[in-house]
Structure 1
Amino acid sequence: MAELRPIDPPFVALGPSGVAIRDRFKGLTAEDDKVLCLVGLHLGSLASKDLAARCRDGLEHSTDTWAARKRELTSQSSSRWAGAITKATHDQWALARRCQLAHIQNLEAGIKTIRHRLSLPIGEKGSKKAPGGYRSKQEWFAKARRLQVLEDRLERERTDREAGRVRVVRGGKRLARARHNLGAAQLTETGWRQRWEAERWFIQADGESGKRCGNETIRVTPDGEVSIKLPAPLAHLANAKHGRYVFAARVRFPHRGQEWANRIEANRAVAYRIHYDVARGRWYLTASWQYQPTKTIPIEAALAEGVIGVDTNADHIAAWRLDIHGNPIGQPRRFFYDLSGTAEHRDAQVRHTLTRLLNWAKTCGVRTVAIEDLDFGAEKTREKHGRKKRFRQLISGMPTGKLRARLTSMADAAGIAIIAVDPAYTSKWGAQHWQNPLTSSKRKTTRHDAASIAIGRRAQGHPIRRRTVPPPHDQSDRVGHRTVQADRRAHGCEELRPRIPGPRTRCAGTGCGANTGDQCAQHRSGHAAEHVQLMLSL
């Protein structure tokens, strides 16, 4: 029998550490639009030059080089714009380094898998833990060539990482590659140019605590008036004091608007970003701020009113409510979503599904949702699953990271705790112990519904296996005596049966008498009572 891996204990997930809200600029005049384009173009060119300088520094970067770059940018914009640009540059460089390390680890995993499969005989079957050999000589030869390609890529990436060299494209690599294939991207050259320039514009400023409305560079008043500090070369466009430009458009934030208003009235830091959507032809303003994550409550307190187990799938999430004892209540619920189409459509589908789930949890009075702590980073590579394209697409299509991030944020706002559990064997054991008993002529329980029960019981600390049924007649006990097995770690015997007081009769009932708990006094073969009778007969 294969050895099972240890199961990690469940834990209460931390809430979000920040929030971002967005609203559209409505009522912009032609002059406002012109100023935004000029500011974005000027600051975007400075951001591109600063990013190139940071990439040239590589691992030799220091606080002195950072200060030198900031002084150079200050003369062409302002000290606050220069600080925002250099901070964004460092964040982008650090992100590129993390992505580079993840790419190296992915290449190493692919090379290891190919080497293992090449070492096996052709046609050898694999196991659940390791893939088998390749099916034919042709596939073996093609994978041998791919191994050489991956090894060359790995050597090049390792060399770049040791030298501190990263490759970053301001505006996005996908959009840059679309320029060479406009037909497939369904873009014209003019349309692509507009999108490319808009993506490379830079109009964002970090918040400052203690300053008026929480930001000195991009200021938004409680009544929605927006003004920005113009860079030095564009100061002649100002229409207010101190080189500021006040826009005719007003903004308001329907979502978390009161929270935002409380922050700016207290002059707490709020960061802003202004960006242009070319497809819609609209300007948007995004406000964001950070706060301390909500302290997690003890897991025992979170489970005081039961739990809702959630199983994540490629096209829906299956949920079932459990009581405090781990028993399913009511009917299973399935919340479907469609992850085809654009990124905005997929994100909207995930948010709508989670909203329905959380509303159902509040209706039931349950304050806790249990979900698997999934990460398919190493499970969806083409080298491990080979020709199983549909299976790889199934795994890749499951929005594990986005759903987990969205769920923790939305659940924190709704006052619902999230418990993350180990995903090991939940689908297998749930189907084994819960699918058939909960299936009837009026209800068809799926494998995913049973997995949601397993997830909820694991969050509660209960075993996934169901309680044992009573034994049949004339086997150890009558039906109805034993409803659950004793724990396997309990080595002791049952205690003595208590004496039940009652009226005196000629015959003593069950549970009465001095020798009720003395097993040696019972009529059983081999006990001391039998030996005493034999000695007296002699």
Structure 2
Amino acid sequence: MKRGTDARKRKSALRAPAEPFTVPAPSGARIRDRLRLSARDVEVLLIVGGHLGRHARADLAERVRIGIVPLRENRRADRKRALTRVSSSRWAGAITRASEDQYQLSLRCLLDERASLRRTILKISRRLAVPCGHRTGGVRGYSTQQERALKQRRLQVLTARLAELEQRIEAGRPAVVVGGRRLATVRHNLADTDLSESEWRKRWDAQRMFLTADGESGAPYGNYTITVDPADGAVALVLPEPLRHLANTPRGRYRISCAVSFNHRRDEWLDRVTANRAVRYDITYDAERGRWYLDASWSTASATLPTPAELAATGVRLLAVDLNADHLAACVIDAHGNPVGRPFTVPTHLIGTSSQRDGRLRAAITELINIAKANGCAGLAIEDLGFADARATGRETMGRGRRGKAFRRIVAGLPTARFRERLRGMAHHAGLVVVAVDPAYTSRWGAQHWKQPLQEQSKTTVVTGHHAAAVAIGRRALGHGTRRRPGVTAHDQRIVQRRATGQTVPRPRARGTASPPRTTGTPHQGIKTCRDRSDQLALFPVSQHRSGRQTAGPAGVPADLGRHR
């Protein structure tokens, strides 16, 4: 009796999954083209970027000293006035805007780190309150005294870090390393890298340059500070006041000898610059490759996307995708929640440098979009993965030993945020909608209810638990239950081989009524299973036995002679 009560408690403890939602479309666009500069151009850009970078770092330090204040009290006007004397009004506006954005981002990072530390401390404290080898209220104590002692020491370290973090948040002083903390750490460990001091200095100076010009509607070609002529692709920038002697064109401007074309999304860029709408430009230098780039970015109009309920009402298909460490498992789901065709596996192989990983991820998403279009899908369904709590608590929630370590390594390697952002932008440009669902129990219920039926439907494809999880994701995105309803699909060879599942919600019919006779071309009503729309023309029942033999009907007549061709 006690075992049954515990089982009922565990069953009632299952949390209700959140409602699916449509992932919003990207709110901006960014394109890039390479600048093939001359030696004189490189010299001028290094001087200008270094000059503006020094003043940008000084302004950021001043903003940090001001601390957490309302927006109207951050003294931006005074700081901009001081920067105008050493640059220009528009350069000063871009610098103060970037300083405010960097400060707010650093402050949000501090708040996220505090929340992570609090979750970890709470989890360890709960386990320390339980004796070793015991379980109280669903909380398991540590297995040995040695592990308990190590966790007590770990708790003290985390508590000290939290106290220091609280002081920094209260003072409003986040630590910001312009150029990157990782690159700054490399400077003290050059012996462990392949970099010389001069090579490191080149990368460090390239990261600390400031060559960003905010767009301005009504300005020539959408930007007065950095201007790109759409006719010939000529690039010119306004020089700061102390560097006007470097100008090679009138009004203190320097024209770069090369031109840009912006092949990707060129039509959108041309529409904006010809209408003098705001376009932001960033000039960056990749010291590792020795290449200069010009980035153009602008905001886009917010699009109204259909909700999951509206998608389900229109009877569209979705391509459900399950994200894994080394591949993407996908399956096409129709409007009734049934898997259609065979499942798909798209390898990712996210290894190598960051650019290689990003390129392989883009290639995998492109293949998903092609599969969705080939199967007539209106969008894609994914899990709303974050792993923020799991990564924060680590071993406390994701197991211990070899299996726990391997699982934590897999979770850390999943590109959840990068995959979501890349998929959102690429799917929107392809005309597809992305629906995110709660990931609760998709793998467990998918393997329990959909792996075997999906394997029976897909004879030539090896179905894994990830494909079954994709079916659960797609059904949840369309508003259907993840688990199969008992008794929907009868245990009959003809029905089981015909389809993996029945209709999710059959149409009710009053007792004593009969369906009207169907003819060829009459749509199926969804209340009984048939092989095709013309099965009423068959003289004898059609066998679904796929061994290649013809099953004889009554009086020795082959059963397939009456099929409509």
Q: Same fold, TM exceeding 0.5?
A: yes
Structure 1 residue 298: Cα displacement:
4.1
Q: Within 5 A, what are the aligned runs for 1:32-431? A: 32-60=41-69, 62-63=72-73, 65-124=75-134, 132-222=140-230, 223-303=232-312, 304-381=315-392, 382-384=394-396, 385=398, 387=400, 388-431=404-447
Distance (whole Å) between structure 1 residues aligned to residue 69 and residue 306 of structure 2: 44
Structure 1 residue 136: Cα displacement:
2.1
Q: Please tell me whether the aligned partners of residues 114 and 383 of structure 1 are also in contact (alpha carbons under 8 angstroms).
A: no
Q: Please tell me whether the aligned partners of residues 336 and 504 of structure 2 are also in contact (alpha carbons under 8 angstroms).
A: no
Residues 137, 279 of structure 1: CA spacing in aligned structure 2 closer, same or farther, 3 A cutoff?
same
Amino acid at match of 2:443: S
Amino acid at match of 2:339: P
Residues 501, 273 of structure 1: CA spacing in aligned structure 2 closer, same or farther, 3 A cutoff?
closer
Q: Please tell me whether the aligned partners of residues 302 and 368 of structure 1 are also in contact (alpha carbons under 8 angstroms).
A: no
Residues 486, 405 of structure 1: CA spacing in aligned structure 2 closer, same or farther, 3 A cutoff?
closer
Name 1:437's counterpart in structure 2: 453
Deviations along 1:164-203, one digit per CA (max 9) or x if unpaired, are 1111000011111111112334322111111111100000
Distance (whole Å) between structure 2 residues aligned to residue 471 and residue 450 of structure 1: 20
Distance (whole Å) between structure 2 residues aligned to residue 471 and residue 409 of structure 1: 43
Distance (whole Å) between structure 1 residues aligned to residue 505 and residue 516 of structure 2: 31
Deviations along 1:180-229, one digit per CA (max 9) or x if unpaired, are 11233432211111111110000001000011110000111102110000
Structure 1 residue 498: Cα displacement:
3.2
Amino acid at match of 2:319: I
Residues 201, 30 of structure 1: CA spacing in aligned structure 2 closer, same or farther, 3 A cutoff?
same
SS in 2 for 1:241: coil
Distance (whole Å) between structure 1 residues aligned to residue 411 and residue 205 of structure 2: 35
Structure 1 residue 299: Cα displacement:
3.2
Distance (whole Å) between structure 2 residues aligned to residue 313 and residue 433 of structure 1: 20
TM-score, normalised on structure 2? 0.82
Q: Please tell me whether the aligned partners of residues 311 and 372 of structure 1 are also in contact (alpha carbons under 8 angstroms).
A: yes
Name 1:516's counterpart in structure 2: none
Deviations along 1:275-321, one digit per CA (max 9) or x if unpaired, are 10011101001110012221112435534331111111111111111
Distance (whole Å) between structure 2 residues aligned to residue 116 and residue 192 of structure 1: 46
With 378-387 and 202-211 compared, the bigger mean Cα shift is at 378-387
Structure 1 residue 79: Cα displacement:
0.5
Structure 1 residue 484: Cα displacement:
6.6
SS in 2 for 1:72: helix
Amino acid at match of 1:141: A
Distance (whole Å) between structure 2 residues aligned to residue 386 and residue 297 of structure 1: 40
Distance (whole Å) between structure 1 residues aligned to residue 46 and residue 256 of structure 2: 13
Identity across the alignment (%):
47
Residues 46, 501 of structure 1: CA spacing in aligned structure 2 closer, same or farther, 3 A cutoff?
closer
Structure 1 residue 67: Cα displacement:
1.3
Residues 245, 472 of structure 1: CA spacing in aligned structure 2 closer, same or farther, 3 A cutoff?
closer
Q: Please tell me whether the aligned partners of residues 488 and 503 of structure 2 are also in contact (alpha carbons under 8 angstroms).
A: no
- Name which of 457, 470, 475 aligns with 1:452: 470
Q: Please tell me whether the aligned partners of residues 369 and 416 of structure 1 are also in contact (alpha carbons under 8 angstroms).
A: yes
Amino acid at match of 2:512: R
Q: Please tell me whether the aligned partners of residues 122 and 137 of structure 1 are also in contact (alpha carbons under 8 angstroms).
A: yes
SS in 1 for 2:251: helix
Structure 1 residue 472: Cα displacement:
7.4
SS in 2 for 1:197: helix
Deviations along 1:17-75, one digit per CA (max 9) or x if unpaired, are 0011111002x111111000000100000011111111111125754722111111100
With 411-420 and 320-329 compared, the bigger mean Cα shift is at 320-329
Distance (whole Å) between structure 2 residues aligned to residue 149 and residue 95 of structure 1: 26
Q: Please tell me whether the aligned partners of residues 310 and 371 of structure 1 are also in contact (alpha carbons under 8 angstroms).
A: yes
Q: Please tell me whether the aligned partners of residues 68 and 172 of structure 2 are also in contact (alpha carbons under 8 angstroms).
A: yes
Structure 1 residue 465: Cα displacement:
2.7
SS in 2 for 1:105: helix
Distance (whole Å) between structure 2 residues aligned to residue 379 and residue 167 of structure 1: 26
Amino acid at match of 1:206: D
Unaligned 5+ residue runs, structure 1? Answer: 474-479, 503-538
User: How many residues align structurally?
Assistant: 488
With 391-400 and 374-383 compared, the bigger mean Cα shift is at 374-383
Distance (whole Å) between structure 2 residues aligned to residue 246 and residue 53 of structure 1: 33
Structure 1 residue 464: Cα displacement:
2.2
Distance (whole Å) between structure 2 residues aligned to residue 305 and residue 376 of structure 1: 30
Deviations along 1:74-114, one digit per CA (max 9) or x if unpaired, are 00000100000010000000000000000101111111111
TM-score, normalised on structure 1? 0.86
Residues 485, 221 of structure 1: CA spacing in aligned structure 2 closer, same or farther, 3 A cutoff?
closer
Unaligned 5+ residue runs, structure 2? Answer: 1-7, 493-497, 518-565
